[in-house]
Amino acid sequence: MNVAFDHLVHLTERPEQAKGSFEQLGFTAIHGGRHEAWGTYNALCYFAPLSYIEWIGIADEQTANACQNPLIARLVADRQEGNGFSQFAFRTNDIQQLAVQLKSKGFTPIGPFSGSRQRDDGKLLTWAMLFIRDDTDGACRYPFFIQWDERDDVRMNELAPLMRHANGAPSLSSVSVYVRRLDRAVNSYRRLFDLPAANVGRDEAGTYAELTVGGVSLRFSQADEPSSTRPFACRIVGSKLQRRLELAGGTYIFSEL
């Protein structure tokens, strides 16, 4: 499956405050805009090669609660637990073919769904999203997939200034995820992405099983019951920072390597 890591979704009541916290650390971060059909708005921080963190908040509760898009439904449900990371997405350049591949592997794709956001400069951004029905009995949550209506090279050229940061040349290295059944979660992701056996490692959160997909490492940690299956930390490497930031229910770990 030919995909690249696209973005990590961080649910927060105040995306603008998360943006400000990153700016204070020397990151370039921007106000994104409103998703009128979803009742949400966001702020963004981009990294080479074309990945980003999305801080997303609810602007219109009535619209968000009625929205049928699985991403927004998940955000509304996660909001009951509080702020924190929610989901992550992989980018594809052929979402229809991806749906066919998923079906051939026994998965049930949901969508595609269309999405749009109008930037402050008036430009309308559009994309398509594809989700997967849970077949793990809640052992983990699957990522979703996104196809932008502009080519990667066009987006790379336009977003290049936003990938320059005063604190170095940072990139998103890993996402740590809690799962309820470690073996089942890892095997489901291996089947999804055609991956070899997971590596075992240890970091600040303890022992994890690691799979590398689309340029990022996914680190799966067994959750103590009862617990959610949300991502709980991400590592950003390549900056001059050596610190840990607890921000709106999510943990950011910054290091040179």
Check pLDDT > 70 for residue 164: yes
Provide the pairing of β-strand 4-11 with 84-91: antiparallel
Q: Which fold has domain 4-255?
A: 2,3-Dihydroxybiphenyl 1,2-Dioxygenase; domain 1 (3.10.180)
* Average of per-residue pLDDT across 162-188: 96
pLDDT of residue 67: 96
* Confidence at 131, pLDDT banded by 50, 70, 90: very high
* Average of per-residue pLDDT across 170-198: 96
* Confidence at 119, pLDDT banded by 50, 70, 90: confident
Check pLDDT > 80 for residue 226: no
Alpha-carbon distances, residue 224 vs 35, 213, 221, 230 (angstroms) = 35, 25, 10, 13
* Average of per-residue pLDDT across 3-25: 98
* Confidence at 18, pLDDT banded by 50, 70, 90: very high
Which among 59, 35, 53 has a CA at the least distance from the CA of 119? Answer: 35
Residue with tokens 């073996």: 183
Report the predicted TM-score, pTM, of the whole model to 2 decimal places.
0.96
Please state the domain extents for the chain: 4-255
pLDDT of residue 206: 81
* Average of per-residue pLDDT across 35-52: 95
* Confidence at 225, pLDDT banded by 50, 70, 90: low
Cβ(238)–Cβ(27) below 8 Å: no
Number of residues that make up the chain = 257
Share of the chain above pLDDT 70, in %: 99
pLDDT of residue 207: 87
Check pLDDT > 90 for residue 227: no
Check pLDDT > 80 for residue 248: yes
Q: Name the average pLDDT for the chain.
A: 95
Q: Nearest 5°: CA angle at 40, between 136 and 173?
A: 55
